[in-house]
Amino acid sequence: MSATVTRTKITFHCTGCADAFEVTDQGVVKLHDEEYGECVWLVGGTLADYVEDPDCSGCGSELVFNTVSVCK
């Protein structure tokens, strides 16, 4: 019998520009940049940093957080 593993995936995006991010074990990764498009950039910082100041550094708009549980 195999065990079920649940992992929580946390992403967030800007409501003003097209910037999108994901929280990983290595830190916060930018997945989409308004100017450059799709990307995978380690931007540093932690989820706590973005929750404490939920404004986009690019345009100043609000960041929206999404949480999804993934079961395997």
Residues 39-57: tens digit of each pLDDT: 999 998 888 999 999 999 8
Alpha-carbon separation of residue 32 from 24, 45, 71 (angstroms): 15, 17, 25
Q: What is the pLDDT of residues 11-36, one digit of tens each?
A: 999 999 989 999 998 899 999 998 99
The reported pLDDT for the residue numbered 69 is: 80
The reported pLDDT for the residue numbered 1 is: 57
User: Do residues 29 and 43 lie in contact, with contact meaning Cβ atoms separated by under 8 Å?
Assistant: yes
Say whether pLDDT at 6 is over 90.
no
Residue where the block lists tokens 């929206």:
64
